[in-house]
């Protein structure tokens, strides 16, 4: 496990209410979507398709924000800004790699917590 920033579910709960099943549904959705977004980011940087990179980085920001991943969100914001002009390609690649890694770590952490939660029937490990 890397030292990626921890997920915070308080904002998510403020949107969907206190129902654990709703929180679970949303995390499941997050786990489905984020790997696809990560792929899109990687593909865009490989193809030097700055339009797609800008769009995907823009699109992913709210989801990261909802789970309290503010550092990852800031990284996505920088990628979005740089991709607008297509300059600083090296920096963009570095940031996309870092963000991809963080997203992967977050997904792993969430999956692992889910498995634990299934045993203990509680979401506590993720709630901050």
Partner 1 sequence: MKAPMNTFKIFVIEDDPFYGELIRRHLALNPDNEVFLFSTAKEALANLHISPHLISLDYRLPDLSGMEVLKRINTTNPDIPVIIVSGQEDINTAVELLRMGAYDYFVKDDHTKTRLWNAANKIRENLMLRTELSELKEEVGKKYEFGNILKGNSQEMQRIFRLMSRAIKTNITVSITGETGTGKELVAKAIHYNSGRANKPFVAVNVSAIPNELIESELFGYEKGAFTGATTRKIGKFEQATEGTLFLDEIGEMGLNMQAKILRVLQENELTRIGGNTVIKIAPRIIVATHRNLADEVRKGNFREDLYYRILGLPIELPPLRDRGHDILILAKHFSDTFCKENELPAKTITKEAQDKLLDYTFPGNVRELRAVIELACVLSDSNNIDASHINFNSTNSLSDFLLEETSLAEYNKKIIRYFLVKYNNNVNLAAKKLDIGKSTIYRMIKNNEL
Which residues of this protein are in contact with partner 1, per CB under 8 A? 11-12, 14-17, 22, 26, 29-30, 33, 55, 58-63, 65-66
Q: How far apart are CA 34 and CA 38, in angstroms?
A: 6
Q: Tell me which DSSP letter residue 7 carries.
A: P
Q: How far is the CB of 90 from partner 1 (least distance, A)?
A: 25
Give me 40's structure tokens.
């899109």
Q: By C-beta, is 43 or 120 nearer to partner 1?
A: 43
Q: How far is the CB of 15 from partner 1 (least distance, A)?
A: 5
Q: How far is the CB of 61 from partner 1 (least distance, A)?
A: 6
Please, what is the Cα angle at 70 between 66 and 74, to 5 degrees?
Answer: 120
């Amino acid at each position: 496990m890397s030292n990626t920033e921890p997920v915070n579910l308080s904002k998510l709960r403020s949107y969907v209410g206190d129902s654990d099943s709703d929180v679970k549904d949303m995390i499941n959705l997050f786990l489905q979507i984020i790997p696809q977004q990560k792929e899109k980011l990687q593909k865009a940087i490989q193809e030097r398709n700055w339009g797609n990179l800008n769009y995907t980085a823009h699109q992913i920001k709210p989801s990261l924000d909802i789970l309290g991943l503010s550092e990852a969100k800031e990284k996505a914001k920088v990628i979005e800004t740089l991709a607008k002009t297509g300059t600083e390609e090296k920096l963009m690649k570095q940031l996309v790699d870092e963000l991809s890694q963080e997203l992967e770590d977050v997904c792993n952490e969430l999956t692992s917590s889910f498995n634990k939660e299934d045993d203990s029937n509680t979401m506590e490990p993720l709630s901050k």
